[in-house]
C-alpha cells in the first residue's frame, strides 16, 4: 500500500469539491467492514443526515447490534403504496497490501477517481439516494407516494440478521411498500444494467465415508475415490454451463447455473487413508431452472459415487420471484420511460449473485437492482475498488428523475 497523500484523510474539507462528493467520502471512511463493522458510527451518520433533511428517522433493531435505519419523506397521499430505496451499510473485507491507497481513506486522484471499499458496493448508492432527496426537497417538490430510504446491516454475509428478518416484522409491513430499488452492478460500456431477478444461492456440503487404512496399501472403496467421483460429476456440470455461456451469445452470467468447489476437507496424517472427507460447493441457480429437478440431479451424482455419500444444505434459497419488465407494468413503465427520456440505454438481466432484493421480492414486492454506474469497471469486492466522482454525481441526477417518476405513479387499481 502506498503512503497516503490525501490531506482530507485528516478531515480537512476541499472548498472546491462538490458537497455531495464530500459526504460520499465521509461515509466511505466509516469502517463498516465485515466481520466487525462499525454500525454505531454509521447509524449516527444517518441520524445526522435525517436531521439535515428534516426527515423522521426510525431505528429497528432486528436482533442485538443489528439496526435497520429508515428515513421517511411522507407523501401527500400516504395511503398509496410507498417507494423503498434500499441500501446496505456493510462492506466486505480488504487485503490492504494490494491497495494503492488506504481502502478506508476515500483517496481521490487527479482524475476524480475515489478509491475505497464500498465505493461501488454500495455506499455510492446510499449517498446518491440521500442527495437526490435533498435536491428534490430543495426544489420544493412533493409527491403523492411516501418515499422510504432504508439502510440495512449484514447484506454482505447473507442478510440473515438484516433484511431477511426485517421483512417479517410489523415495522416493515407498516412501510406499505409498493416498489423497491436496490443495488446493481457497474457496467464498463455506455449501457446501464438493470436486474429484475436473482439466482437462488445453494451452498451444499457433500460428506463421503469410505474404508480407512495404511497409506501404503491399495484399499478399496476409499473416501477419496468416492469424493473424486462426486467432484467429477459436479465439475463436469460446471464445464457444461461454462461452455453454454460461451457458445450462446445471448446468455449472460445470470442465465446459467454457476458452480464452484469452495472447500475440501479430510485426512489426519500422510500415512493414513481417511475414513471421511467433505467438499463444499457454492451453486447459484437462475429462476428459469426447475429446482426440484436440479436437486434430483445432485442426489443422483451422490448416489452414483457409491455408498456412504450424503449431502446437506448450508443455504437453500428457493424463491424464484422476478419483477416485471413489461411496459404494461406501471412501476417498470415509470422507471424505463424516465431512463429513456435521459437517453440511457438499459440492459435487463438476472443478477448473477444475491442481494437483499431477493427478500423484498419474496415478501411480495417488486424490486429492481440498479446502480447508475456506466463506463465503469466492475470492481465490487476487488482490490482498489473505485468510482469516478463525475459518474457518482451523474447518478444523483439520474436518481432524482427516477425517484420523482416512481413517487408520482398514479393510484393503482389495487390501491382503490
SS3 135: helix
Question: 9: how many CB neighbours lie within 10 A of its CB?
Answer: 16
How many other C-beta atoms lie within 10 A of the C-beta of residue 293?
A: 8
SS3 content of the chain, % helix, strand, coil (to 5): 35, 25, 40
Q: Which residues, in sequence order, are CB contacts of 248 under 8 Å at separation 6+?
A: none
Q: SS3 of 42, please?
A: helix
- Tell me 119's DSSP state: T
Q: Which residues pair with 87 in a beta bridge?
A: 151
If you ran DSSP here, which 8-state letter would residue 108 be given?
A: E
Grid cell 408520482 — which residue?
408
Alpha-carbon distance of 241 to 235, in angstroms, equals 10
Bond before 24 cis per omega within 30 degrees: no
CA-nearest of 375, 376, 356, 352 to 367 is 356
Active site residues: 90, 155
φ/ψ (deg, to 5) at 29: -80, -10
Beta bridge mates, 181: 85, 368
Q: What residues have CB less than 8 Å from 170, skipping those under 6 apart? A: none
Which of 1, 203, 248 is CA-nearest to residue 102?
1
Helix (H, G, I), strand (E, B) or coil at 66: strand
Return the closest-CA partner of residue 286 out of 242, 350, 235: 350
What SS3 class is residue 213?
strand
Amino acid at each position: 500500500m502506498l503512503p497516503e497523500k490525501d490531506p482530507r484523510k485528516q478531515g480537512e474539507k476541499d472548498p472546491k469539491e462538490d458537497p455531495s462528493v464530500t459526504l460520499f467520502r465521509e461515509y466511505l471512511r466509516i469502517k463498516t467492514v465485515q466481520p466487525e463493522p462499525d454500525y454505531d458510527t454509521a447509524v449516527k451518520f444517518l441520524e445526522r443526515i435525517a436531521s439535515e433533511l428534516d426527515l423522521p428517522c426510525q431505528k429497528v433493531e432486528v436482533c442485538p447490534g443489528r439496526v435497520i435505519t429508515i428515513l421517511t419523506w411522507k407523501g401527500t397521499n400516504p395511503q398509496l403504496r410507498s417507494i423503498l430505496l434500499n441500501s446496505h451499510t456493510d462492506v466486505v473485507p480488504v487485503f490492504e497490501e494490494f491497495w494503492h491507497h488506504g481502502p478506508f481513506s476515500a483517496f481521490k486522484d487527479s482524475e476524480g477517481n475515489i478509491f475505497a471499499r464500498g465505493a461501488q458496493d454500495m455506499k455510492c448508492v446510499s449517498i446518491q439516494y440521500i442527495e437526490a432527496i435533498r435536491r428534490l426537497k430543495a426544489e420544493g417538490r412533493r409527491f403523492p407516494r411516501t418515499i422510504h430510504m432504508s439502510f440495512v446491516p449484514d447484506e454482505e454475509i447473507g442478510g440473515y440478521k438484516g433484511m431477511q428478518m426485517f421483512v417479517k416484522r410489523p415495522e416493515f409491513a407498516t412501510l406499505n411498500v409498493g416498489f423497491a430499488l436496490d443495488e446493481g452492478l457497474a457496467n464498463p460500456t455506455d449501457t446501464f444494467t438493470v436486474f429484475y431477478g436473482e439466482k437462488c444461492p445453494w451452498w451444499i456440503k457433500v460428506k463421503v465415508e469410505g474404508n480407512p487404512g495404511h497409506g501404503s496399501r491399495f484399499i478399496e472403496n476409499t473416501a477419496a475415490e468416492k469424493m473424486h467421483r462426486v467432484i467429477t460429476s459436479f465439475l463436469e456440470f460446471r464445464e457444461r454451463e461454462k461452455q453454454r455461456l460461451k457458445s450462446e451469445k445471448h446468455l449472460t452470467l445470470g442465465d446459467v447455473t454457476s458452480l464452484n468447489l469452495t472447500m475440501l476437507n479430510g485426512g489426519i496424517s500422510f500415512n493414513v487413508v481417511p475414513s471421511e472427507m467433505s467438499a463444499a460447493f457454492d451453486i447459484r441457480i437462475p429462476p428459469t431452472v426447475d429446482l426440484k429437478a436440479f436437486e434430483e440431479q445432485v442426489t443422483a451424482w451422490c448416489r452414483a459415487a457409491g455408498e456412504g455419500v450424503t449431502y446437506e444444505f448450508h443455504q437453500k434459497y428457493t424463491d424464484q420471484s422476478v419483477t416485471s419488465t413489461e411496459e404494461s407494468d406501471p412501476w417498470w413503465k415509470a422507471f424505463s420511460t424516465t431512463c429513456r427520456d435521459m437517453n440511457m440505454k438499459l440492459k435487463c438481466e438476472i443478477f448473477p449473485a444475491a442481494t437483499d432484493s431477493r427478500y423484498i421480492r419474496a415478501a411480495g414486492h417488486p424490486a429492481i437492482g440498479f446502480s447508475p454506474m456506466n463506463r465503469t469497471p466492475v470492481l465490487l469486492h476487488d482490490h482498489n475498488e473505485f468510482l469516478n466522482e463525475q459518474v457518482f454525481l451523474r447518478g444523483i441526477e439520474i436518481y432524482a428523475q427516477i425517484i420523482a417518476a416512481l413517487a408520482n405513479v398514479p393510484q393503482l387499481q389495487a390501491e382503490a
